[in-house]
Structure 1
Amino acid sequence: MLLQRHAFNASKPGAPGRLNSAASSRRAGAAAAQPVPRDVGASGPQVIPDLPKLPSSSDHAPGDYVPQPTTSAVVTTELSAGVHSCSDTPTTRRVSRRTWLVAACLATGWAADIINGSGCGGGKVAYAAAGADAAASASAAARPVVDLSTLQEEAYLAYAERRFQDAVNLLTECIAAEPESARWREMRAEALVDGKNFTAALQDFEAALRLVPDTDRVTRARLRTGRALGYEGLSEWEAALADYKSGMELAAEAGESLDPYVLNSIGNCLNSLGRWEEAREQYLASAAVFQQARGFRGRNGSTTPRLDGAIFAASNAALMRAQLGDTDGAVQEMVRIARRAPGSADMRAALAALYWGQGRQREAEEMWEFACDRITVGCVKYTDLDWLGRIRRWPPAMVARMADFLAMR
């Protein structure tokens, strides 16, 4: 099982367990309604009907996440009930469910008085307490019943359409209905990660961990790797690295196979910490596991190959090789990857930067032109050096080479 898939996918019938969100999932799978890949992919939702209203901020404990309101409403069902007065004259009126239930309970006490001969004038003190208890019971019984299955499907839909705040609000209703369920906390955390509310996501992951027993290693492993995504969003690389490693250890103890997503994420953390040789090892391991994977089974029974993951991890490893100073070796790896994945703008942009630094201007221009004009995604993002280093996570040496290429061409 691959841990790093979003809880959104892990909860769906026929979908694999996560990470997938996480998140994962950055998720929710990958997740379309797999977790739009933490850019949580999200995989396969349906529309649902009316939902109970969200609790107000006064209903939450200090520090708890308070969602934005949605347009769902609660409809109070009214019933017609015959209620007798002491005059023995029957009357019929339209009352609310709660009033009807209280009246029914009190009527039971009234009938008992008749049997005991006390009538409406007797037993009032004795039945006052019974009436209060009945009112409390009726209040509990009148609480709206939440259809969690349809509520969940609407959350899937919101997640798939990248309406992350709507997904958060819907999942908040699920949490209100089942406050002791870690599942809803995990799913809301995935949506919060993708909505870039990392601090609130960490709170949900921690709350979910408190609800899951230590013996459930698989779930705890998934929650650890999900929480790591939140730490990554806050650039807390050491904390993220610790959670990824802890998640991997728990998964291994549970007999689970290696998760290539987690291996790649460990490489990302090491890269951000400047530990490039270790990062390269993790990227290579991730690429190897991706190539062994048959794919993920979707809700319709089909599988999706994970060669795209292998290409991405191998590209990261090649970038680390350039950072370590082995330019020729990095070029060789990038050429192989570009041949295997003709649609990879990433490797062609990287080759353009390396070729330019080697004085191979014509080849550099050819690679750049191919990336810009012949690949759908184009090369515009690769002209943004901040995006290149912070989001795409090219190492410093490669960002500098791209800067030189863009400045001189």
Structure 2
Amino acid sequence: MLPWLSVLTLTLLLSCWFPRPALGDSLEAHPVKPEAAALYNLGAMQVARGNWQGARCSYGAAARIQPDLILAQSSQALAAMELGELAVAEETFRQLVRRHPLFADARAALTALLWHRGRQGEAESHWAASVGLDERYADAQWLLTTRQWPPGPVQDLRQFLAFGTS
């Protein structure tokens, strides 16, 4: 690291990049701890490089530092899903939906995962709730570029949506 760039400076710079969650109901109402924001942003940088294992670890560390940072938990589960760890991802998404029923991100991700596993009816139920909370989850480009979902879950959701319109 550059000697003049302190950890505090780096943390503050990274926290400026922390994305505002698209939740619509202020589920992330608590202030984000700088350490959690820095780790979340490190995860986002690893996503940009295609390092899903590193992203999963960084998002997990952010969630451990700040357990109420549910976007970090959802991002960690999405990275696990991309890595093929479907049981871990499903358990996390289900816990998030149970604790935060208005959290569209977890519902949309669970929709993609359930579709991938061939559980169409349950996927449709979660999708109805998800799109009712936030219509942007139907936009694959938004998922990839703004929300930074992995390509696998985005593809699963695209297939689900294509099936529903056919």
How far did 1:349 drift?
Answer: 0.8
- 1:373-392 CA-partner distances (Å, limit 9, x unpaired): 3xxxx231011111000000
Q: Distance in 2 between matches of 1:335 and 1:219?
A: 35
Q: Which residue of 2 aligns with 1:380?
A: 135
Aligned counterpart in structure 2 of residue 225 of structure 1, from 14, 18, 34: 14
Identity of aligned residues (%): 34
Q: Distance in 2 between matches of 1:396 and 1:326?
A: 15
Q: Distance in 2 between matches of 1:406 and 1:223?
A: 39
List alignment gaps of at least 5 residues for structure 1.
Answer: 1-213, 230-256, 292-306
Give the TM-score taking structure 1 as reference length.
Answer: 0.34
Larger C-alpha radius of gyration, 1 or 2?
A: 1
* Structure with more helix by fraction: 2
The answer to whether the aligner puts 1:261 opposite 2:37 as a matched pair is yes
**Is the 1:349–1:367 Cα contact (8 Å) retained in structure 2?**
yes
Q: Which residue of 2 aligns with 1:367?
A: 126
Q: Distance in 2 between matches of 1:338 and 1:281?
A: 22
What letter corresponds to residue 135 of structure 2 in structure 1? Answer: V
Q: Which residue of 2 aligns with 1:323?
A: 82
The answer to whether the aligner puts 1:282 opposite 2:58 as a matched pair is yes
**Is the 2:70–2:96 Cα contact (8 Å) retained in structure 1?**
yes
How far did 1:372 drift?
Answer: 2.8
| 1:7-406 equivalence runs, <5 A | 214=4, 217=6, 220-222=9-11, 224-225=13-14, 229=17, 259-291=35-67, 307=68, 310-373=69-132, 378-406=133-161
Q: Distance in 2 between matches of 1:289 and 1:219?
A: 16
List alignment gaps of at least 5 residues for structure 2.
Answer: 18-32
- TM-aligned CA distance change 1:260 to 1:368, over 3 Å: same
**Aligned residues between the structures:** 147
Which fold has the larger relative contact order, with Cα–Cα distance below 8 Å and residues 6 or more apart in sequence?
A: 2
Secondary structure of residue in 2 paired with 1:286: helix
Q: Which residue of 1 aligns with 2:28?
A: none
Give the TM-score taking structure 2 as reference length.
Answer: 0.80
Q: Distance in 1 between matches of 2:150 and 2:51?
A: 10
How far did 1:220 drift?
Answer: 3.5
**Is the 1:349–1:379 Cα contact (8 Å) retained in structure 2?**
no
* Structure with more strand by fraction: 1
